C-alpha cells in the first residue's frame, strides 16, 4: 500500500535523489556534500572498513559526505577520528552472543560496559551499545528479568557519567548471513526490549532502534517511533531485504521515517549500517541523501 503520509512531491523528490545516487560514480560521491543538517548522520565502522585503505581514508570520506560520526569504534581509534572533527556516536561493548539475560556472563559484560562508559565519558561519545544475548534455553520472562537486574547494576554509573546505554533489538528471521539476522537472540521484538527499559526506569538506559531489524520482526516502523519516542537512544538504517543499500530494490521508504524522528523530537544520531554489494561510497552518498530530510 502507498504510505498515506507521502505526498506526490515527496515521491518525486525522493525518486530524483535516488536516481542521482544510483548514477553517481565513486569519484563524484566523494565530493563534498551539503546537507540540511537536521539529521546527524553516522557511519557504522564494521560495514565499510574493508572498503577503505585506512581509517584516515574513511574519515576523509565521512567528512565529505557530511557525517558527524564513525561509530562502533574503540578508544584507540578516536584520536584519529578527532583529527577530522568526527565523534563516535555509539561505542561497542560485549557483543550480542553473551548478554545480560544470562547471569553467568554478568561479570564479563558489566566490566566491559563500565570500561566503555568511562572511555566514552572522557571522549564525549554519548552512547554505549548493549544486548540481551542469546536465549540458551532461558525462558523469555526469565531473560527479561535478568536483563533488568543487570541493567540496574550499571544504570547508576551511566547516569553519573552522562552516557546512555542502548539496548539493541535484533531480528531472528534472517539466517543467510551472520550479520543479517541473529537466530536465537532473545531481544528480538521491540515491545520485549521496551518492557525491559521501562522496568529499569533510567533516563540513561534506552533503545537502539534499528529500523532494518524492526521492519523484519515487527513492522509498523513510524507508529513505533511515535509510540516509543522517549525510549529512542540511537537509530540504525539499512535496506531490506538483505541489509544492502538503501535504494529502489528494497521495501523500506526512509524519508517519512526520518521525518517521523524529527517530529517526535529525536536529536541523536542515525547510523547507516548496510552491507555494501557494490562500491560503498556511492551507496553511502545515496543513503545519506535519501535520509537527509
The three-state secondary structure class of 66 is coil
User: By C-alpha distance, which of 128, 129, 122 is closest to 82?
Assistant: 122
Does residue 24 fall inside a structural domain? no
For position 30, what pLDDT does the model report? 57
User: Which residue, among 176, 185, 181, has the nearest Cα to 213 in the 3D structure?
Assistant: 181
C-alpha cell, 216: 523484519
Element (H, E) at 148: helix 140-161
Does 20 map to a domain?
Answer: no
Residue 94 lies in a domain: yes
Buried b (16+ CB within 10 A) or exposed e, 199-222: ebebebbbbbbbbbbbbbbbeebb
What is the maximal distance between C-alpha atoms in the chain?
54
- pLDDT tens-place values along the chain, 293 residues long: 433 333 333 433 343 343 333 333 343 445 777 899 999 999 999 999 999 999 999 999 999 999 999 999 999 999 999 999 999 999 999 999 999 999 999 999 999 999 999 999 999 999 999 999 999 999 999 999 999 999 999 999 999 999 999 999 999 999 999 999 999 999 999 999 999 999 999 999 999 999 999 999 999 999 999 999 999 999 999 999 999 999 999 999 999 999 999 999 999 999 999 999 999 999 999 999 999 99
> Is 223 inside a domain boundary?
yes
The answer to whether residue 2 is domain-embedded is no
Rounded CA separation 121/125 (Å): 6
How distant, in Å, are the alpha carbons of 47, 170, 198, 238 from that of 183? Answer: 20, 9, 25, 19
Among 150, 156, 229, 240, which Cα is nearest to 186's? 150
- Which domain CATH number covers 170? 3.20.20.150
* Residue 46: predicted pLDDT: 98
Tell whether 249 is covered by a domain.
yes
How many domains does the chain fold into?
1
| In contact, 275 and 180? CB cutoff 8 Å | yes
In a domain? residue 6: no
Using alpha carbons, select from 128, 123, 196 the residue that is nearest to residue 159.
128
Residue 16 lies in a domain: no
The span from the CA of 131 to the CA of 151, in Å, is: 10
CA 88/CA 98 separation, integer angstroms: 23
The x, y and z cell numbers of residue 45, run together, are 565502522
The residue segments making up the domain with residue 261 are 42-291
Amino acid at each position: 500500500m502507498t504510505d498515506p503520509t507521502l505526498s506526490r512531491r515527496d515521491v518525486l523528490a525522493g525518486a530524483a535523489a535516488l536516481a542521482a545516487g544510483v548514477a553517481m560514480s565513486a569519484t563524484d560521491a566523494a565530493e563534498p556534500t551539503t546537507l540540511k543538517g537536521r539529521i546527524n548522520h553516522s557511519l557504522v565502522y564494521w560495514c565499510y572498513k574493508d572498503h577503505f585503505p585506512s581509517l584516515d581514508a574513511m574519515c576523509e570520506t565521512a567528512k565529505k559526505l557530511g557525517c558527524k560520526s564513525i561509530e562502533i569504534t574503540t578508544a584507540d581509534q578516536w584520536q584519529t577520528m578527532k583529527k577530522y572533527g568526527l565523534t563516535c556516536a555509539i561505542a561497542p561493548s560485549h557483543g550480542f552472543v553473551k548478554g545480560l539475560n544470562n547471569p553467568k556472563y554478568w561479570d564479563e559484560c558489566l566490566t566491559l560496559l563500565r570500561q566503555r562508559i568511562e572511555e566514552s565519558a572522557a571522549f564525549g561519545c554519548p552512547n554505549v551499545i548493549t544486548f540481551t544475548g542469546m536465549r540458551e534455553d532461558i525462558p523469555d520472562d526469565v531473560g527479561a528479568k535478568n536483563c533488568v537486574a543487570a541493567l540496574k547494576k550499571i544504570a547508576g554509573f551511566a547516569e553519573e557519567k552522562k552516557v546512555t546505554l542502548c539496548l539493541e533489538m535484533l531480528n531472528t528471521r534472517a539466517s543467510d548471513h551472520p550479520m543479517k539476522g541473529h537466530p536465537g537472540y532473545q531481544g528480538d521484538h521491540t515491545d520485549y526490549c521496551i518492557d525491559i527499559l521501562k522496568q529499569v526506569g533510567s533516563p540513561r538506559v534506552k533503545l537502539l532502534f534499528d529500523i532494518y531489524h524492526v521492519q523484519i520482526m515487527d513492522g509498523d516502523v513510524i507508529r513505533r517511533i511515535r509510540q516509543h519516542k522517549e525510549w529512542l537512544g540511537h537509530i540504525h538504517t539499512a535496506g531490506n531485504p538483505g541489509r544492502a543499500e538503501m535504494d529502489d530494490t528494497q521495501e523500506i521508504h526512509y524519508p517519512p521515517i526520518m521525518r517521523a524522528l524529527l517530529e517526535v523530537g529525536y536529536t541523536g544520531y542515525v547510523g547507516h549500517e548496510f552491507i555494501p554489494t557494490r562500491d560503498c561510497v556511492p551507496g553511502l552518498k545515496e543513503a545519506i541523501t535519501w535520509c537527509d530530510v
